[in-house]
């Protein structure tokens, strides 16, 4: 340890900011802009509140990064990590070995996921889970003697992670610009009604729009030829793309299309899984029948990095009984400490009936208050499902006119939120929330007051 990195007593904000600025390259950040502003240093957290290194408190309406579902400081999860790290800090799952946490977690996941999903392949993140999806999909069709089935259809503006495979599966144009996309991945329209309504500047029936967008999937399969299409991948509700809640007609149609064609259906549950929508999985809410379900984040409430892919019986049967060795895996697949914490997290969710509480009590209240934010003159639409929400900032509410990007409405609003002790994320000019599931109604009122105040301040700034 050199002198500069030795710990100091007292307030160290400036020190951490300067060390961070000198040595830490941040994800999804303009490093030059960060250097000019200095990072906010979050030092501790409890429940749904964060505390920064100057002692300022924030209501964390993003649950970290859509993940701290059971809130900060849960002793059960701390104990699970502590006990497991003493017992067996690491062992792998290669070479015909396993360990109790991985075995227990696989069984627990089989219990809480849809009935036809009973096998888990473990990873350390959602991105690795989606890399695994690609490997499994291609392997499945190879084993079945259909190696020409290679193309995976995804959606524009989807987010499936940041490795080369996951970012290719995702539909984020800015990511593709910086790394291209791997072959055999194509993207169809997203069911973003509000965006389309603003773009058109005229009325647009949501259900008709939902059907049209769904049809673009069928059209793409026809265009490519069913014999070349391996899978369709989608988030139940697009998260990082701006919490896109599709019109009801969308999933009704997409389900039919997935059933009609011989393709695998991959439902990315990295955000929607583990109670986020008021159901264990987004697939339960929407009655989807996935063949593969990548997951991460809420699996361990973000306490330790773990993810995985739940594999349906139909796919597992081919992999297990017909496939031979699957040449895929990670050193940390099913890491015992991460797996023990994930298992403790799921048991904690079950013990506290958190999914039911969200569905029956807190989510309806959050959605009600979110709807009230929709009355603000700066808000063109407030939408959400369960403990997910989006607030669209617009220049002209009556006529569905968005701000010019240069006005940076979302960034201004996010800064006011921070100043007012609230963490909301800005996706362009869409403010999004995904708070911890343990948020109480009184916390929701605090959220509403801080959000309304921040909207007022943003409105004032943008009028000048």
Ligand X SMILES: Cc1ncc(COP(=O)(O)O)c(C=O)c1O
Angle between helices 441-463 and 363-373 (to 10 degrees): 20
Query: According to the binding rule CB under 6 A, does residue 239 interact with ligand X?
Result: yes
Q: Contacting ligand X (CB under 6 A), which of 121, 122, 140, 159?
A: 159
Say how far apart CA 44 and CA 49 lie, in whole Å. 9
How far apart are CB 462 and ligand X at their closest, in Å? 29
Say how far apart CA 402 and CA 195 lie, in whole Å. 9
Q: Contacting ligand X (CB under 6 A), which of 69, 84, 113, 127?
A: 127
Total residues in contact with ligand X, by rule CB under 6 A: 15
- Quick one: tokens of 287? 């009655």
Give the range of 263-271, 274-282, 337-345, 351-359 binding ligand X by CB under 6 A: 263-271
- Nearer residue to ligand X within complex by CB, 379 or 388: 388
Query: According to the binding rule CB under 6 A, does residue 268 interact with ligand X?
Result: yes
- Nearer residue to ligand X within complex by CB, 66 or 403: 66
Q: Contacting ligand X (CB under 6 A), which of 161, 302, 410, 436?
A: 161
Q: Contacting ligand X (CB under 6 A), which of 60, 131, 189, 235?
A: 235
Give the range of 113-121, 264-272, 385-393, 401-409 binding ligand X by CB under 6 A: 264-272
Site for ligand X in 272-331 (CB under 6 A): 296, 307
Query: According to the binding rule CB under 6 A, does residue 190 interact with ligand X?
Result: no
- Quick one: tokens of 251? 């999933």
Query: According to the binding rule CB under 6 A, does residue 244 interact with ligand X?
Result: no
Query: According to the binding rule CB under 6 A, does residue 168 interact with ligand X?
Result: no
- Nearer residue to ligand X within complex by CB, 152 or 296: 296
Give the residue among 348, 401, 273 at the shortest CA–CA distance from 80. Answer: 348
Residue with the CB atom nearest ligand X in the bound state = 126
- Nearer residue to ligand X within complex by CB, 307 or 389: 307
How many CB atoms are located within 10 Å of the residue 96 CB? 5
* Distances from the Cα of 92 to the Cα of 75, 339, 413, 415, angstroms: 27, 12, 46, 44
Query: According to the binding rule CB under 6 A, does residue 99 interact with ligand X?
Result: no
Beta bridge partners of 310: 120, 293
- Nearer residue to ligand X within complex by CB, 166 or 355: 166
- Nearer residue to ligand X within complex by CB, 294 or 336: 294
- Quick one: tokens of 154? 């995804």
Q: Is 227 exposed, middle or buried (0-12, 13-18, 19+ CB in 10 A)?
A: exposed
Say how far apart CA 199 and CA 220 lie, in whole Å. 23
Query: According to the binding rule CB under 6 A, does residue 193 interact with ligand X?
Result: no
Q: How much is the CA Rg of the chain, to the nearest whole Å?
A: 22
- Nearer residue to ligand X within complex by CB, 170 or 247: 170
Give the range of 29-37, 121-129, 142-150, 285-293 binding ligand X by CB under 6 A: 121-129
Query: According to the binding rule CB under 6 A, does residue 131 interact with ligand X?
Result: no
Give the range of 17-25, 124-132, 217-225, 348-356 binding ligand X by CB under 6 A: 124-132
- Residue reference for tokens 């996921």: 113
- Nearer residue to ligand X within complex by CB, 236 or 380: 236
Give the range of 102-110, 267-275, 365-373, 443-451 binding ligand X by CB under 6 A: 267-275
- Residue reference for tokens 């649950």: 63
- Nearer residue to ligand X within complex by CB, 65 or 107: 65
- Nearer residue to ligand X within complex by CB, 114 or 380: 114
* Distances from the Cα of 262 to the Cα of 134, 236, 287, angstroms: 17, 20, 19
Q: Which residues of the shown chain bind ligand X in the complex (CB under 6 A)?
A: 125-127, 130, 159-161, 235, 239-240, 268, 270-271, 296, 307
């Amino acid at each position: 340890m050199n002198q500069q990195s030795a710990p100091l007593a007292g307030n160290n904000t400036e020190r951490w900011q300067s060390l961070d600025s000198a040595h830490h390259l941040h994800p999804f950040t303009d490093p030059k802009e960060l250097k000019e502003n200095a990072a906010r240093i979050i030092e501790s957290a409890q429940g749904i509140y964060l505390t920064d290194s100057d002692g300022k408190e924030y209501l964390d309406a993003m649950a970290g990064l859509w993940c701290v579902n059971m809130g900060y400081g849960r002793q059960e999860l701390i104990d699970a990590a502590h006990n497991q790290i003493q017992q067996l800090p690491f062992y792998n799952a290669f070479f015909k070995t396993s360990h109790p946490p991985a075995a227990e977690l696989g069984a627990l996941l089989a219990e809480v996921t849809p009935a036809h999903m009973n096998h888990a392949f473990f990873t350390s993140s959602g991105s690795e889970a989606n890399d695994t999806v690609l490997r499994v999909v291609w392997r499945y069709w190879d084993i079945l003697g259909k190696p020409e089935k290679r193309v995976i259809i995804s959606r524009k503006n989807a987010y499936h992670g940041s490795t080369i495979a996951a970012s290719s599966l995702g539909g984020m144009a800015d990511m593709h610009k910086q790394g291209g996309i791997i072959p055999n991945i194509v993207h169809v329209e997203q069911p973003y009604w509000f965006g389309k309504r603003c773009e058109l500047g005229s009325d647009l029936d949501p259900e008709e729009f939902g059907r049209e967008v769904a049809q673009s999937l069928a059209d793409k399969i026809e265009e490519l030829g069913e014999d070349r299409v391996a899978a369709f991948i989608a988030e139940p509700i697009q998260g990082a793309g701006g919490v896109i809640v599709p019109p009801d007609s969308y999933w009704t149609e997409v389900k039919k299309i997935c059933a009609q064609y011989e393709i695998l259906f991959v439902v990315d549950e990295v955000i929607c899984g583990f109670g986020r929508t008021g159901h264990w999985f987004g697939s339960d809410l929407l009655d989807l029948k996935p063949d593969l379900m990548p997951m991460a984040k809420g699996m361990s409430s973000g306490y330790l990095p773990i993810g995985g892919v739940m594999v349906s019986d139909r796919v597992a049967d081919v992999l297990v009984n017909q496939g031979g060795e699957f040449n895929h895996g990670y050193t940390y697949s099913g890491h015992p400490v991460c797996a023990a914490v994930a298992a403790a997290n799921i048991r904690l969710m079950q013990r506290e009936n958190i999914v039911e509480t969200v569905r029956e009590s807190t989510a309806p209240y959050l959605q009600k208050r979110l709807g009230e934010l929709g009355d603000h003159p700066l808000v063109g639409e407030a939408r959400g499902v369960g403990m997910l929400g989006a607030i669209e900032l617009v220049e002209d509410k009556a006529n569905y006119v968005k701000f010019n990007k240069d006005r940076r409405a979302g960034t201004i609003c996010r800064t006011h939120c921070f100043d007012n002790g609230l963490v909301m994320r800005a996706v362009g000019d869409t403010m999004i929330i995904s708070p911890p599931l343990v948020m109480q109604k009184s916390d929701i009122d605090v959220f509403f007051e801080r959000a309304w105040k921040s909207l007022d301040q943003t409105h004032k700034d943008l009028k000048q």
